[in-house]
Structure formats: C-alpha cells, structure tokens
Structure 1
Amino acid sequence: MKPARAVAIIHSDSDVAGSLPDLFADLGIQLEINPVSAGLPAPEALELAVVMGSPESAYDHRLPWLASELEWLQAVQARGVPTLGICFGSQLLARALGGQVYRNAAPEIGWTPLDTPDGWAHKGPWLNFHFDAFTPPPGATLLGKTDLAPQAYRVGRAMGVQFHPEIDAQMFDTWTAYWRETEEGKRFLASAGDLPERMRAEIEAREPENRVNCRELLRDFLSHI
C-alpha cells in the first residue's frame, strides 16, 4: 500500500526540500520536513523516509549529530522502512547498509547524464554537486554511474541517488547563502568565478524538465516499495 506520509530529514534548519513537497503531494503523499536539530522520528512511526543532502561529509564524526543519525538510519533500515537518500543522504544510507563513503578523486559539479548498466530508465541529465562518493552497499543493484562516481543504487526498499533530482532555484539559493556565510563556502566562492550565477541560471532553465524527471524518479522509487 502506498504510504500517505513521508518525513524528509534536513541537516540545517535553513535547508529546504526543493521540488519534493509539491511532487510528493502530486503523488498523494504528504511530506513533512524534519530538521535533524529537532530530533529524529521514531523508526516505528515512519511510513517513508527521505534523507536529504548536506555540505558535510558522511564520514566526518566530528559532526555532533552524525553518529546518532547513522544509528537511527540503521534502525530504520532494520525495520524495512522505504527510504530515499539524496546526495549526502545516499552516502549515509550506503554506510548504514554496509557500503563505504570516501573523498572522491575529483569533485563532480554540473548536469551529467548517467550510464545505466542495469537498463534503468532515469538517465537524466541530473545536477551533481559533490566532493565525496560512495560504494554501493553489499547486495545493492547499481542503477547509474558516471565516469567519476556511482550515482544510484537500489537495495530492498531503499534507493540512494548521488545527484540532486529535487533541485530548484529556491533550493540553490540556500546553497549560495551557506557559501557566503561559512569559511569553507567563502573559499569555494573565491575560486568559483561566475559558476554560481551560471549554475542558478541553468537550474531555472532546466526546472520544468527536471521536475518531470524527478516525478518519474519518485514513481519508480514508489513502485519498488
């Protein structure tokens, strides 16, 4: 039976879920936004979980909330709760299921089409913005990859995607706000030139097509749970 309610875990109180609230609503599912700072919902209370992105690394145990979120996600998986991980969320989900996360050889930034060795229909192109990468967990089906990193996997009732299918201009604006407010972000902006402006313009231009692609991706995820 299709869930009626989903919970999206965000990793900063200023984060947003992009197009996901509207697209889940189109599919008859109410999406509740839950900042990690507010505490994590009881696994037994969940119908569907979405673990969102973060500029942090999924292996950085200096983060005060990381160990507890990883433990929570392992409990969620033990209960068989349908789970979608996005970018950082796909990496943490991979860890929870026995995979690994590591600093990638090079960052992957921009709209990239996927190679789909299993014949997966969702080739994109999708927006990538990441410096780390994952190994798919044991027993997972690799759904998509690029030359730089694995991009999507499915295992049981869980799916992880390294890219950002939910991206829209409002969400990108929270990224640029983070870059302006943090030392790490300022270092990135100092070397980025006009990349942020070009990225935002392309996100706006691609938004109608990307929403269609994201809706179909969500339909695919829901069809396997």
Structure 2
Amino acid sequence: MKPARIVAVVHSDTDVPGSLPELFAEQGVELEVRSITRPLIAPEMLDGLVIMGSPESAYDSRLPWLDAELEWLKEVQCRGVPSWGICFGSQLLARALGGSVHRNAHVEIGWTPLTTLQNDWQHVGPWLNFHFDAFTLPPDATLLAKTNLALQVFRQGKSIGMQFHPEIDPAMFDTWTRYWRSTQEGRRFLETAGDLPERMRAEIQDRQPANRENCRHLVKDFLNQI
C-alpha cells in the first residue's frame, strides 16, 4: 500500500524540490519537504524518503550537517526504508550503502540519454545532468544505467540513486542561478559559463512537458516498489 507521506530532505532553506510535490500528489502521496537545517526525522517514523540535490560535495567533511546526515541515512537504509537519491542525494546514498564519491574526470552538463543495463529499468530520458562529482557503485547494488561520463542509476533493495535531475523545472533552476550569483564559487562558475545559464533555462522550459511526463513515470515506479 502506498504511504500517505514521504519526506524529501533538501540541503538549504532556499532549495525547492521542483516538480516532485505535484507528481507525488497525483498519486495520493504528500511530499513533506524538510530542510537539513531542521532536526532529522527518526528513521522508524519514515515510510519513504527522497534525498535531494545540493551544490556541495557529498565528501566535503567541512559541511556542518554532512556527517550527521550520512550516519542517519545509513540507519535509514538498515531499516529498509524506500529511498530515492537525486544527484547529490544519489552520491550520499551510494556512500551510505558502501560506495564512494569522487571528483569526476569530466564535468557532465546538459541533456543526455542513458544507456540502460537492466530490462526492468528503461527510463532512457534524455535527462538533465549537472554534476562535477560521481559515485562508485555500492558493493551490493545493481547498476541500472550510465552515460559515457559517469554511472547514472543504481538500485539496492527498495532504494535507488539517480545522478541526473528528473525533477528540474524553471522555478527550481532559478534557485540555482540565485545561488551562483550569491556565492564566491558560483560567481567563479558564472565568469566562465558565458550564456550557458540562459540557454539551460530556455531548454528546461522547452523540455518541461516531456520531462515532467518522464519524471511522472519515475515517481510511479518508486511508489510501486514500496
């Protein structure tokens, strides 16, 4: 039976979960969005979890909340809570399950189709990738998809990690550009990005109907495994 509520953890008070709240609501499930700045919910109180993205690195021990979130996520996995990690969230989930995260040899930015590796997972996209880091496959996980630049999707039990951003919409992308303008690291990125942010937003807008439909199927799959 589908749960009435699933918790989505965002990694900043200004982060938003894109199209996910409406897509979960279509399936009769409330997506409760909680910032990492609030106390983490006891694992035994969770029926399902979504771990959202972040501009930070999932191996940066300087982050004041990272170690606590990782230990909490390990306990969540030990309890078998169905979990969906997105981008940074997939990397943290990989770490919680025994994998690792590293700076990738190549930046992966743009809409990319996936090479799928299992017959029961055929969500080829294209999906929006925007990442500098990558995960290694946890020892007991199954690799479901990849691109030429990085592993993309893995599954272990009722948990799944996806390196790309299926939930992206223009409003969510606007939070990214505000972050870039307001941080030193973001401004460094913008200095070399040229018109990339403007082109990315326009393409997100153009692709929104198809991407939303693709994401709808991912939400249904996640709920079906619960």
TM-score by length of 1: 0.99
- Alpha-carbon offset, residue 221 of structure 1: 1.8
Residue 170 of structure 2 corresponds to: 169
1:87-166 pair list within 5 angstroms = 87-119=87-119, 120-166=121-167
Residues 60-93 of structure 1: per-residue CA shift (max 9 Å, x gap): 0010000000000001001111100000000000
Q: Partner amino acid for 1:99?
A: G
The separation in 1 between residues aligned to 2:25 and 2:77, in whole angstroms, is: 24
The separation in 1 between residues aligned to 2:2 and 2:63, in whole angstroms, is: 34
The separation in 1 between residues aligned to 2:160 and 2:183, in whole angstroms, is: 31
Residue 50 of structure 2 corresponds to: 50
- Asked if 1:185 is matched to 2:193, the reply is no
- Alpha-carbon offset, residue 223 of structure 1: 2.0
**3-state DSSP class of the match of 2:218?**
helix
**3-state DSSP class of the match of 1:22?**
helix
The separation in 1 between residues aligned to 2:72 and 2:46, in whole angstroms, is: 12
Residue 197 of structure 2 corresponds to: 196
Q: Partner amino acid for 1:138?
A: P
Residue 220 of structure 1 corresponds to: 221
**3-state DSSP class of the match of 1:37?**
coil
The separation in 2 between residues aligned to 1:224 and 1:188, in whole angstroms, is: 39
Q: Partner amino acid for 1:63?
A: L
Q: Partner amino acid for 2:47?
A: E
Residues 173-196 of structure 1: per-residue CA shift (max 9 Å, x gap): 000000000000000000000000
The separation in 2 between residues aligned to 1:172 and 1:144, in whole angstroms, is: 24
Q: CA RMSD in A?
A: 0.7
Identity of aligned residues (%): 68
Structure 2 stretches of 5 or more lacking a match? none
Residues 104-146 of structure 1: per-residue CA shift (max 9 Å, x gap): 0011000000000113210000000000000121121111100
**3-state DSSP class of the match of 1:31?**
strand
Residues 8-52 of structure 1: per-residue CA shift (max 9 Å, x gap): 000000000000000000011000010000121111111111000
The separation in 2 between residues aligned to 1:148 and 1:49, in whole angstroms, is: 27
Structure 1 stretches of 5 or more lacking a match? none
Counting matched residue pairs gives 225
